Structure 1
Amino acid sequence: MPTGIRVVVVDDHHLFVRGLELLLPEVSEGVATVVASTGDAAYAAGVARHAAPDLVLVDLHMPEPGGLAAVEAVRRAAPRARVVAMSGDDDPALAAEALRHGAVGFVPKSSDAGGLFRALLAVLDGWAVLPQRLLGAVVEQNRRQAPHPVAGTLGDTERELLRLIVMGASTAGIAARMHVSERTVKRMTAALLRRLRVSSRAEAALLAGSAGLLHSDMAARVPGNGPLNPAF
């Protein structure tokens, strides 16, 4: 388990933010701490830049400029931070949109604190996270969209790399499976994301779903417990 996880919360519901400030340190035994928060999406980038967080939780239902804009702004201002979107509902369209804007996960605000902490640990370990019940809906939504112009032209090596990314394999695990160095895996992954015109492994996973590379039974093979299983 990582130590000293710094969390920034972007949410205009002050009681919810206060709850996270109290509960996250408790359920994580002091590992996770809310180091800063803002209720104004326009200030999200500045807060994230100065707080140097490991994770940024962003409520998608915020006044203008809105949660999706905050996700994008945080990604630019604090590129090393991992952004997790939150919402009071389970709208798969909103979850998919958050991932396309750069979030690496989506969690309902109704999640218990322990489940939320497990999801955050999974995000820090390189997973993209979605509630299990949303996975099928998000994948199906992407399948209905127009085919990606590049996905169908991937070579065998690129398709295998994408499949391993979708299944949540670590850099070391991919290196072992593909018999290359970890540095090579990082270079290949960066090149694949550029070719697919996506900015994160989460977006690549969504694209894999629309291209028919992500199957509904994959989620069952991914370790985790509670309603916030790593889904990709």
Structure 2
Amino acid sequence: MIVDDHELFAEGLELLLTRDWGEKFVIGGRTTFVEEAAELVASCNADLAIVDLSMPPLGGVAAIRHIKSRHPGTRILALSGTEDQQLAEEALRAGADGFLSKTVRPDALAEPLATIAAGLRVVDPGLLDTLLSSTRKPAAAILDSLTPADLTLWTLLSTGMETAEIANRMLVSERTAKRMVASLLNKLGVSNRIAAAALAGRSGILDD
């Protein structure tokens, strides 16, 4: 089924899928209203839903939430004609199984749809780059709270050094090193060294 308030696009997509991929896809219905999305899924027992994110007044994310809450087995591909990466991320968090920009060629949609139907996920390369970049950046508040000595300690700790080695490298006593490690873990908001090392890896601290 297709949820899109741009009727020309929705009709064109239906014609394309029916004409060129009719052996794989049957369009069970279309709607231009977010409020009708979940009901339409039920009425046509849809395996797949294609949802446009820019649909006033509630928006496509609301449609995705409604569909997934009532029909969790239905797979969803979110589409957007805007460059709003935050909206795309919200769609994925709401339960969408894939996201693509509407700038993709219409005839290139069939394979991603088949991939999603098979239980895998599909994400637009631009969004994927943004998501990967954002997950590598530690919260600004964390970095602001760290001193150069903290960053050095974080690096040493994350490479697996024992307290005695850290003390020797930082020219402090072992007792002082223990206090420094405890303080660092508190600043990072983690409970142990393994979690601190994982955060360092995600944040790019160890890249150099």
Amino acid at match of 2:202: G
Deviation at 1:69, TM superposition (A): 0.7
Matching of residue 82 in structure 1 with residue 113 in structure 2: no
Q: Where in structure 1 are there 5+ consecutive unaligned residues?
A: 1-7, 147-210, 214-232
Amino acid at match of 2:25: A
Matching of residue 91 in structure 1 with residue 81 in structure 2: no
Amino acid at match of 1:212: R
Q: Which moved more, 1:52-61 or 1:124-133?
A: 124-133
Amino acid at match of 1:25: T
Candidates 51, 75, 83, aligned match of 2:44:
51
Percentage of identical aligned residues? 36
Q: Which has the higher helix share?
A: 2
2:90 aligns to what SS in structure 1? Answer: helix
Mapped to 2, the partners of 1:45 and 1:72 lie a distance apart of 9
Corresponding residue number in structure 1 for 2:60: 67
Q: Are the equivalent residues in 2 in contact too, given 1:56–1:81 (CA < 8 A)?
A: yes
What pairs with 1:1-232 in structure 2 (closer than 5 Å)? Answer: 8-144=1-137, 212=202
Q: Deviations over 1:175-219 (max 9, x none)?
A: xxxxxxxxxxxxxxxxxxxxxxxxxxxxxxxxxxxx839xxxxxx
Structure 1 runs of 4+ aligned residues shifted over 4 Å read none
Amino acid at match of 2:47: D
Mapped to 2, the partners of 1:145 and 1:126 lie a distance apart of 31
Amino acid at match of 1:63: P
Amino acid at match of 2:54: H
TM-score (norm 1): 0.57
Mapped to 1, the partners of 2:40 and 2:22 lie a distance apart of 25
Mapped to 1, the partners of 2:37 and 2:129 lie a distance apart of 31
Mapped to 1, the partners of 2:44 and 2:53 lie a distance apart of 20
Q: Are the equivalent residues in 2 in contact too, given 1:27–1:117 (CA < 8 A)?
A: no
Larger radius of gyration: 2
Mapped to 1, the partners of 2:128 and 2:71 lie a distance apart of 27
TM-score (norm 2): 0.63
Query: RMSD value over aligned CA atoms?
Result: 2.2
Mapped to 2, the partners of 1:145 and 1:59 lie a distance apart of 32
Deviation at 1:114, TM superposition (A): 2.6
